[in-house]
């Protein structure tokens, strides 16, 4: 870790085989984690330049969990392309352990309660053979107080949980779920959780799909994913499509 970040690091904590580096403030936890070896994680109280998928800003105010975890990803890159999909499932599993139910996924890995977003994931590769899973979970923070466009579109763990939940507890459960996911992918056992993932999309919804290869979006119905993580979609003309995650720029629920 660079001297600049060493100065700012508040603590380094061992947690179930992980080393968690804690900061008061960082621009974004993902690039800091990207320089670390596997089984290290970076957590910051706030992020001043929090990043979402597709270049969006991710508001990271105090009271939420902003965490990036470095997972070993040895072997062919294709084998690990399923990780972003599994990461959403892992976060739902972690939150289930603190009694939060009724969460759903929106492809590829947004975590929602009804139509309100609870958590998001940004999975990136900075070094060969490791992958960084960056997860942002709204807990007691209020992103809508910093961006009024988010009013009514976000929800926090504090609102959903029946008891008060500590950041440390969610950190531990999330990292544990990521470790389990890593083992499932490494051992080619991802198919064991595909049915569970497919129940997490909720009822079949009309969506608009933007593909990287065509200017016009497709309207249709999202049908879930196959054991290789490919998205299954039926367009409004009744044609079925099976798409690699890399082919899809955006899925928007209508
Ligand atoms: C999204 O839903 O668009 C993804 C949000 C990902 C946010 C997390 S917070 C920790 C890590 N650091 C970042 O800058 N982004 C991710």
Residue 31 has pLDDT above 60, yes or no: yes
Interval between CA 72 and ligand 1 midpoint (Å):
20
Helix (H, G, I), strand (E, B) or coil at 12: strand
**Locate tokens 């009271």: which residue?**
63
Closest ligand 1 atom, residue 60 Cα: 9
Element of type H or E holding 179: helix 167-186
Residue 4 has pLDDT above 60, yes or no: no
Predicted confidence at residue 5, as pLDDT, reads 55
- Integer CA distances (angstroms), 216 to 46, 206, 234, in order: 38, 16, 16
**Average pLDDT in the chain:** 94
Of all residues in the chain, the percent with pLDDT exceeding 90 is: 92
**Locate tokens 């099976």: which residue?**
242
**Locate tokens 């007691």: which residue?**
140
How many C-beta atoms lie closer than 10 Å to residue 203's C-beta? 5
Interval between CA 52 and ligand 1 midpoint (Å):
5
Kindly indicate the confidence band of residue 15, based on its pLDDT and cuts at 50, 70 and 90. Answer: very high
Predicted confidence at residue 204, as pLDDT, reads 86
């Amino acid at each position: 870790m660079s001297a600049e970040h060493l100065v700012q690091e508040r603590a380094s904590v061992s947690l179930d085989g992980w080393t968690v580096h804690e900061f008061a403030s960082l621009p974004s936890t993902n690039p800091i984690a990207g320089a670390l070896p596997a089984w290290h994680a970076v957590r910051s109280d706030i992020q001043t330049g929090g990043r979402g998928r597709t270049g969006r800003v991710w508001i990271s105010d105090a009271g939420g969990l902003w965490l990036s975890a470095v997972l070993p990803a040895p072997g062919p890159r294709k084998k690990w392309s399923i990780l972003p999909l599994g990461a959403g499932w892992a976060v739902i599993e972690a939150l289930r352990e603190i009694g939060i139910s009724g969460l759903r996924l929106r492809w590829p890995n947004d975590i929602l309660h009804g139509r309100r977003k609870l958590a998001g994931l940004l999975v990136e590769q900075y070094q060969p053979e490791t992958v960084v899973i960056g997860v942002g979970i709204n807990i007691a923070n209020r992103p809508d107080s910093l961006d009024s466009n988010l009013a009514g579109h976000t929800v926090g763990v504090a609102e959903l949980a029946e008891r008060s939940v500590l950041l440390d507890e969610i950190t531990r459960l999330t990292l544990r779920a990521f470790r389990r996911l890593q083992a499932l992918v490494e051992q080619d056992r991802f198919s064991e959780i595909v049915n569970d993932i497919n129940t997490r999309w909720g009822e079949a919804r009309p969506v608009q799909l933007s593909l990287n290869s065509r200017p016009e979006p497709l309207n249709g119905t999202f049908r879930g994913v196959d054991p290789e993580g490919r998205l299954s979609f039926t367009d409004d003309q009744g044609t079925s499509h099976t798409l690699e995650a890399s082919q899809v720029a955006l899925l928007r629920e209508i």
